[in-house]
Each structure stands twice: as structure tokens, then as C-alpha cells.
Structure 1
Amino acid sequence: METKIIKVHPEDNVAVALADLWKGEVLSLGNNKIDVLTDVAAKHKISLVDLGEGDKIYMYGVLVGTATVAIKKGEVLTVDNVKHQAAQAHKKTETTGWNAPDVSKWKDVTFNGYHRADGQVGTKNVWLFFPLVFCENRNIELLKEVFEKELSFRKPSRERLLLRRLIQGEDASEAVEVEEEESEIFDNIEVKFITHQGGCGGIRQDSASLARLLAGYVNNPNVAGATVLSLGCQNLQIDIFKRALDRINFNSEKSVLIFEQQQEGTIDEMMSKIIRESYAAIKEANEIPRRPAPLSKLKLGLECGGSDGFSGISANPALGYASDLLSALGGSPILSEFPELCGIEQELINRCVNDELAERFLELTRAFEKSAIDAGSGFDMNPSPGNIKDGLITDAMKSAGAAKKGGTSPIQDVLDYGDYVTKPGLNLLCTPGNDVESTTAMVGAGANVVVFTTGLGTPTGNPVAPVVKVSSNTTLARRMPDIIDIDAGGVIKAEKTIEEMGEEILEFIVKVASGEVSTKADELNQDDFIPWKRGVSL
């Protein structure tokens, strides 16, 4: 008989519909017989007991909501009969034990990466252009046009060729095939460009925060060096950026070329100087070879976006198992998105290796939530319309599934936004839940690979780190094959275990880290970069 519902944790009083359920169906879950009283769409939740108004709702073994009206056994949970509620977190109450996974098959596995002078190892070799202030965005865009065209880093897109056909009056009804242009001049380095809207205006703290983020990008092991443009009069002064870089890595030997427009003369003069010096540096960086490195050199960003009701039972826990494998191997997984840890804070506090880290996590979480409330919002406003439509109807419900990305390993460090990962094992990083802001921050904290789980489909990428997409369900993987790298839908269909899927994810990460496989986000040139203006974003 087809399994149509799943109870995630023994203490849960709701189950997840694995397929559409129809009013009048009769289901069984162990010894529990359930008469389906309302239609329940796949991914949504069905009550396993009679709930009275005010009764607590549990999923993943944690409190995820409260019934606002009576809900009968067999009825669907919706935003009309459930409201967000999460358990309150307190100081560390116990030390959680950890049964580390068997990593004997992985201990001698290596990836081919770019070894940096400070001991970090990159999975990419990137020369990065960026401004310290938005006034220089135009010059960055000019440099991007010049370098990408002359170095042939991008072939023409199908959309560009389609438009060319239309302009020339040719038949545009047939599929457009992209033909390769001339070969790339450099085959061992990528040139990437970042723009942003910060660096001046706002408050000085915004510029200081941006300086730490940009310094983290320069220090990221995937970056060979950088060209930095400054106007001169902005809040984010060159010396502020340099201090931020020294704070992360005082002895960095990377080449960082800095140009200040108000000291360089005309734009033509400045651009000529930038092009000459940057080209020479890029040519030198192209000579850096890939060499074997242990998996302990991987810093893995753990991200989810466009989540659905299956994310927390397939893709996220599978990524969590891959995270545990990496932690046991001495690597550094990074769990962020603090609004999406709402309701499971106590579990994370108890996983912290000492009281100091537990207190730091609690302080950062409370300060973040207070800033959201002061702005007229709150963590309970985090679920998006897409989340709700696909079964994640409260923030605690969404969070309990999202946190599964972090596995079960001990938390070795707790970092604020702009801090850099230095410790092996699981790290917590304070970021908003917004996909791009969170991914941007993790790469700024040193992530040299990011794995991004999604149930609805999200094209997010990053200019510096490869972003691997894992779908929670096979329907999505088939509908959007151009953005999905791995399909975790086999877990939903009971074709694969969480552990098997987790090992498959880690195997793919190793291939990506070695340059053997390109992620779909990289193939689409999806280079997203959004700094966090603190207190404004969930």
C-alpha cells in the first residue's frame, strides 16, 4: 500500500501529506486510523488528534504552533486555524551528546583545489573586481564589459542570439543554438565583478559592516586577488577596508590593487591604469595550479530557499548528514539564517560546546528578533507566500525543517555577521533568512562551497563560491532541470535513505570542489551579491 503520510517525530501530533489526500479517504499510521475530513494537498499537514482551541501543535518533536480554533483529527492545518508559537530558549541546560557518523570511507578522499599562502584551499580561482562605494558601480560595469568581451569569459546567450535574429529579420521560431566563440585566453582563472548600493549615506555602521563583508570576500580561499575601486570621499574609506582585511588576516599575501578616482585624474587615465595592472595580476594568478587537499579544507555554506513542505524531510536532513560527515572529517559547515532557527534555539544552545558560545548565540538571536519587532515585524513574519502555499504555515514549522541542514554535530563557534570562520566543525553565523543575503554572508565568512536546498526552485548563485542546488522533490527537479544539480526526491519516495542521499551530496561537493563539475548556477552566470543592512531584513 502506498504511504501517503509521514509522522516525522514520535512526539508529533501532525503528519505530512506525501501525496494529495481527499476527503473521505481512510488512512492508517501504525495503529492510528485516520478518516480524512478535508482535502489535504501534498506537503501540507494533517492533524493526527483532536485539537482544541489553544492546544499546542508539535512537529519534528518541537512546538511549531497553536490551534486558533478546534481542529478535528483528519483535518488540514492552515493559516486560518493555526498561529505561530515557539518554545522559549534559555541558557544551556545540558550538553548534547553526538554519535559521529562513520567516515572511514572518506578519510583519505581529497579534492583538487587552489592552495593559498595562509593555508586555506579554494575550490575556484577568481580575480574579483568590486567598488567600496556605489559611485564606482559604473566603472565596475565598464571594466566588466571590457574584460568579459576581450577575455571571452562568456559566450553569447540564447536570448542575445534570439534578439540578433529578430533584428536581422531572420526566422526566430526555431530553437537557438549557442555556438562557441573564440577560446578563452586564460583557462585557469575566472574574473568576477561585484556591485552594490552601499559605502556611503545611511549610517557609518553600515559602511563598517560592508567593509568586513568585502574583506571576507578578498580573504575567501576561492579568491586569488582583487581590484578595488574607491571614489575617495565616501564613508567606507580605503583605510577602513584595509583594517577590516587586517582583522581577518593580518599576514595576507594576496594581491589587492586599490584605485581612488579622486586621486587618479580622468576616467580614461584611471581605467587604462586599472586595466594594465589588473591584466598583469590576472595573468600571474592564472598560473596557480590545482593540487590535492583533504576534505577538512572545505568550508560549506548550508542554505535553503524557496522551501516547501518536503524540504524538512528530504533535502535538508540529507544535507545535514553531509554536514555531519564533513564535521567529523574536520571541515567547517556553516549554518546561518537566524530567523529560521526560531523554536529550536534551545536544541542549538545545548549543542554549543561551552556556555560562552551558548550565551553568544542567545544574545545575537534576541538582539536580531528585537530589531525586527522594533521595525514593526517579527520572526513570525518570515514565511513567504510560496512557503505558506506549500505547507510551511508558521515560522516555527519552517524553522524546524530548515535547521535540519545543520545536522546533529556539536557547535564549535558562533559568529556575528562579518566574522570569518576559523574553527573546524559546525559554525553558526548570524544572518537574515533572505536567500541571497544569507549566501552572500556565508561566502564572506569563508565558505568555498555552498549547498542550497529548495522545494519551489530558486536560481541563486554567487560570484565567488559554487552554489549546489538540491531539490526536495523530483517534480521540481524535472520541471527546472536548468537550476537543479541534485534531486533528493528519492527520500520522499523511500527509494533512498537520508544517509544515502547525504553521501551522494558530499560526493557531488567533492567533484564541484575539484572543478570536475560545474554547478547549474555557475553555468547560468548567476552571480548574486546582496549585503545585509542590519535590522531591515528577515
Structure 2
Amino acid sequence: MKTKLIKVHPEDNVAVALSDLKAGETVTFEGNDIRIVSDTKAKHKIALTGLKTGDQILMYGVLVGKANETIPEGGLLTTENVKHQSGKVSGKTETTSWKAPDVSKWKDRTFMGYQREDGQVGTANVWLFFPLVFCENRNIELLKDVFDKELSYYKTNNQRRLLRSLISGQTESPVTEEEDHRPGIFENIDVRFITHQGGCGGIRQDSVTLARLLAGYVNNPNVAGATVLSLGCQNLQIDIFRDAVNTINPDLKKPILIYEQQKMGTVEEMLNTIIRESFEAIREADKIKRVPAPLSKLKVGLECGGSDGFSGISANPALGYASDLLAALGGSPILSEFPELCGVEQELVNRCTDPSDADKFLSLMKAYEKSAIDAGSGFDMNPSPGNIRDGLITDAMKSAGAAKKGGTSPVNAVLDYTEYVTKPGLNLLCTPGNDVESTTGLAGSGANVIVFTTGLGTPTGNPVTPVVKVSSNTELVQKMPDIIDVDTGAVIRGEKSIEEMGEEILEYIIRVAGGEEKTKAMQLDQNDFIPWKRGVSL
């Protein structure tokens, strides 16, 4: 008989519906017959025992909420009868032990990467254009139009064909051979462009933080060099950016071309100079070839977005096992999204190898939550309408599942936003839960691959770092096959174990890192970049 419920942890008093349940039907679970009180959609939770008002609700073995009213056995948990609640943490209570998984079949494996002079290894080779201030966004867009059309392979897509046919009044519009078959100019370099709304007009601290983020992008091993545009009078001065680069890597040898418009005359003169000099630098960067590199050179960002009630059962634990494999191999998995670690702080604190990191983690969490409360919000406001519709009804419930991406390995470093990853093993990076702000931060802290789990679907990508999409359920893959790379729905169906799916994810990461696979986000040319202004962003 197909299992209809799953309990994640032995101490849990709720279970997740694996398929739609009808009111009045009886489900046998763990030797007990449970009568379903009301229609329950797959991914939602039911009470395994009767709960009184104020009773604690446990899932993943941690406190994820309390009953707001009486909930009978077999009753559906909703935002009306459950309120967010999480455990209180004051410090480290124990030192947890870890048995590393067997990685013998990967220990001699390599990926084909781009070796940088500082010892980092890129999974991509990108020349990056960006402004220090939003006033230069238009010039960045002008340069993007020129370089995209002249350097890149491009193919007329269905949307251009549709618009062309509407303009001409014909059912089909002819496509020239040049449009469909024009080759790229360079073989080993991609040229990418980012814009933003910062650099001036806000508080000075925002500009300094933006400088550190952009410096992290330049230092990212996937970046070969950069062209940087400055207006001249903005808060984010060139020397602030240079200081930020020097702080991250005082011996950086990558070429950085910087242009200040207020010193260069007309726009046309400036753009002509930028194009000439950047083209020569890009031509040199194209000479860099992929070479074998050990898996310990992988820094993998762990991200989730558009999560559903299955994310914490299939995709996130499977990614967590891949994270443990990578940590055991000497690589650096990076767990982000601090609002989605609310409720699991004690476990993470106990996993910190350095007591100062445990203190830093709690300090960052408390400061972040206080800023949210001061703005009239709080971590309890984190679940999105889509999360709630698919069974994630409290932030602690969402967090307990989201934290599974980090596996079980020791926490070797805790980093604030824009701090750069330098230690092997699991790193915790303070970012918001906002998908793009978080992936933007992961790349800025050195991630050379990002793995992004989702249950509802999201097209997010990054301009310098490949983003691998992992689906929690097969239905999403069938509905949105153009954005999903790996399907973990087999875990929900009981066809594969968490460990088997984790190994599949690691193998896919290795292929992406070596240029053997292009992720769906790369194929869609999805290059999202949103810096986090250190105000409240959930």
C-alpha cells in the first residue's frame, strides 16, 4: 500500500501528506488508524495527536509553532490554528560529533576549471562590466547592446519571430542565415553586464557595502577581469572600491579597467575608449583554458526559493547530503538566508567548531531579527503566500526544512554579508531570504556554483556563477521543464534515498563546474543581480 503520510523526525507530532487526503478517510500510520478531519492537500500537515491551545508543534525534531486553538488528531494545520514559535537559544550547549560520509569514489575526481593566480579555480570565465553608481546604468546598457550583438552567438527566438510577424502582418517572418548561424567570436570567455540602483543617494554605509559586494564579484574565481564605470561625484568613489578589492585580496592580479565619465568628455568618446581597451583585455582573457582541478576547489552556494511542503523532505535533504560529501572532500558549501534559519539556531550553534563563530552567528541573527521588528515586521512574516499555500505555514517550519540544505557537517566559519569564503567546510553566510539578493550575496562571497532548490519554480540565475535548479517534486519538472536541472521527486515516491539523490546532485555539480553541462538558467541567459541594502529585506 502506498504511504500517504511521512513523519520527518521520531519526536514530531505532525506528519506531511504525501498525496491529497479526503475528509473522513482513515489512514493507517505507524500502526495507528488516523481519521482525516478535513480535506488535506498534498504537502500540508496534519496533527498526529490531539493538540490543545498553547501546545507545542514539533517538526524535524524542533519547535516550529504552537497551537492557536484545539486541533484534533487528523486535523489540518493552518495559519488560523497555528502560530509561529521557535526555541530560544543563548549559546552553545554541546559539541556535536560528525561521521563524514564515504567519499572514496570522489577523492581523486577532478573538474575542468579556470585556474587563477591566487589559487582559486573558476567554473566559468567571465569578463564583467558594472557601474559604481546607478547614473552609469545607461552607459552599461549601451555597451551591453554593442557587445551582445557583436561578440555573442545569437539565434532569433520565438518571441522575436512573433513580434516580427505581428509587425509585418504575416503568419511567419523569415529568419536570415546570419541570424540563425552566426558564430561567437571568442571560445573561452563570456561577457556579462550588471546594473544596480546604488552607489549614491542613500546612506554612506550602503555605498561601502556595495563596494565590498562588487569587489567580491571581481575576486570571484569565475571572473577573469572587469570594466568598471564611475560618474565621479557619487558616494561610492573609485578609491572606496579599490580599498574594498585590496581588503579581500591585496595581491589581486586580475585586470580591472576603471573609467570616470566626468573626466572623459562626451559619451561617444568615453564609450569608444572603453570598447577599444575592453576588447583587447577580453581577447587576452579568452586565452585562459580549462585545466583539471580537485573537487576541494568548489565553493557551492546553497539556496532555496519558491519552496513547497516537499522541499524540506526531498530537495533540501538531498542537497544537504551533497553538501556533506563536498565538505568531506575539502570543498566549501555555503548556507545562506538567515531568516530561514530561525528556529534551528541551537543545532547550528552546536555545530560551530569555533566558539567565536557560535557567538557571531547568534549576534547576526539577533541583530537581523531586531531590525525586522523595528521596521514593524519580523521573521514570522517570512513565509510567502506561495509557501503558505503549499504547506509552509510558519517561518520556523519553513526554516527547519530550509536548513536541511546545510547537511550535518561542522560549521567551520560564520560570515557577515560580503565577507569572503576562505575556509573549507560548511560556511554560514548572512543574507536575506529574498532569492536574488541571497544568490547575489553568495556569488559576492566567492561561490563558483550555486544550487537552488525549489518546489514552486523560479527562473533565477546569476551573471557570474552557474545556478543549478533542483525540484522537490516531479510535477514541477513536468510543468516547467525549461527551468529545472535535477528532479528529486523520486524521493517522495520512495524510489530513491536521500543519499542516492545527493550523489546525483554532486555529480551534476561536477559536470556544470567542468563546463560539460549548461544549467537551464544559463540557457535562458538569466542573470539576476540585486544588492542587499542593509535595511530590512525578507
Fold match by TM threshold 0.5: yes
CA deviation map 1:239-286 (0-9, x unaligned)? 000000000000000000000000111111110100000000000100
4+ residue stretches of structure 1 with deviation over 4 A?
A: none
Aligned AA for 1:99?
K
Alignment of 1:115-130 (within 5 A): 115-130=115-130
Q: Partner amino acid for 1:358?
A: A
Unaligned stretches of 5+ residues in structure 2:
none
Map of 1:310-459 to 2, 5 A cutoff? 310-459=310-459
Q: 1:273 — aligned with what?
A: 273
Counterpart in 2 of 1:141?
Answer: 141
Hey, what's the Cα distance between the residues in 2 that align with 1:178 and 1:255? 33
Deviation at 1:181, TM superposition (A): 3.3
RMSD over aligned CA atoms reads 1.5
Query: Matched residues in 1 for 2:525 and 2:457: separation?
Result: 17
1:507-518 equivalences under 5 Å are 507-518=507-518
TM-score for both structures, normalised by structure 2: 0.99
Give the distance between the partners of 1:287 and 1:381, measured in 2 at CA. 49
Q: For 2:243 and 2:491, how far apart are their aligned partners in 1?
A: 47
CA-to-aligned-CA distance 1:149-183 (integer Å, 9 cap, x gap)? 01134333221121112212211599xx9963310
User: Does the 8 A contact of 1:156 with 1:178 survive in 2?
Assistant: no
Instruction: State the distance in 1 between where 2:265 and 2:444 align.
Output: 32
**Contact in 1 for aligned 2:110/2:293 (Cα 8 Å):** yes
- The match for 1:500 is 500
User: Structure 2 counterpart of 1:113, which letter?
Assistant: G
* Aligned pairs, number: 538
Evaluate the alpha carbon distance shift between residue 173 and residue 7 of structure 1 in structure 2; reply closer, same or farther with a 3 A threshold. Answer: farther
For 1:92 and 1:146, the matched residues in 2 are separated by: 55
Amino acid of the structure 2 residue aligned with 1:272 = N
The CA deviation at 1:210 is 0.2
Q: Determine the C-alpha separation between the residues in 1 that align with 2:493 and 2:145.
A: 47
State how far apart, in whole Å, the 2-side matches of 1:390 and 1:400 are: 15
Q: Aligned equivalents of 1:300 and 1:24: distance in 2?
A: 46
Would the aligned equivalents of 1:449 and 1:466 in 2 still touch at CA under 8 Å? yes
CA contact (8 A) 2:164 2:173 kept: no
Instruction: Label 1:464 to 1:71 Cα distance change in 2 as closer, same or farther (>3 A).
Output: same
Question: How many angstroms apart in 1 are the aligned matches of 2:281 and 2:10?
Answer: 59
- Relative to structure 2, which stretch is displaced further, 92-101 or 180-189? 180-189
Aligned partners of 1:173, 1:7: CA distance in 2, in Å? 56
Instruction: Give CA-to-partner distance per residue, 1:368-402, whole Å, 9 cap, x none.
Output: 00000001100000000000000000000000000
Following superposition, the deviation at residue 97 of structure 1 comes to 0.5
**Cα distance in structure 2, aligned partners of 1:37 and 1:236:** 59
8 A contact 1:157–1:178 mirrored in 2: no
Residue identity in the other structure for 2:62: V
* SS of residue matched to 1:376: coil
- Residue 234 of structure 2 aligns with which residue? 234
Gaps of 5+ in 1: none
Structure 1 residues 459-512: Cα deviation after superposition (integer angstroms, max 9, x where no partner): 000000000000000000110000000100000000100000000000000000
Q: Report the secondary structure of 1:334's partner residue.
A: strand
Q: What SS does the aligned partner of 1:437 have?
A: helix
1:132 aligns with 2:132: yes
Q: Which AA in structure 2 matches 1:199?
A: G
CA apart distance, 1:536: 2.1
1:106-144 CA distance string (max 9 Å, x none): 001100000000000000000000000000000000000
Aligned residues: percent identity? 73
2:186 counterpart letter in structure 1 = F
2:302 maps to 1:306 = no
CA distance in 2, matches of 1:178, 1:270: 30
Q: State the secondary structure of the residue aligned to 1:318.
A: helix
- Looking at structure 2, the residues matched to 408 and 180 of structure 1 have their Cα atoms a distance apart, in angstroms, of 48
Instruction: Kindly indicate whether the alpha-carbon contact (under 8 Å) linking 1:200 and 1:207 is maintained by their aligned counterparts in 2.
Output: yes
Asked if the contact 1:152–1:181 (Cα under 8 Å) also holds between the matched residues in 2, the reply is: no
Distance 1:501 1:179 in 2: 40
- Matched residue SS, 1:154: coil
Q: CA 1:158–1:178 in 2, change beyond 3 Å: closer, same or farther? A: farther
Q: What is the CA–CA distance in structure 2 between the aligned matches of 1:172 and 1:13, rounded to whole Å?
A: 60
The Cα of 1:521 is off from its aligned counterpart by: 0.3
Q: Cα distance 1:119–1:428, how it changes in 2: closer, same or farther (>3 A)?
A: same
TM alignment of 1:169-248, pairs within 5 A: 169-172=169-172, 180-248=180-248
Compute the displacement of 1:31 (Å). Answer: 1.9
Whether the 8 Å CA contact 2:154–2:182 is kept in 1: the answer is no
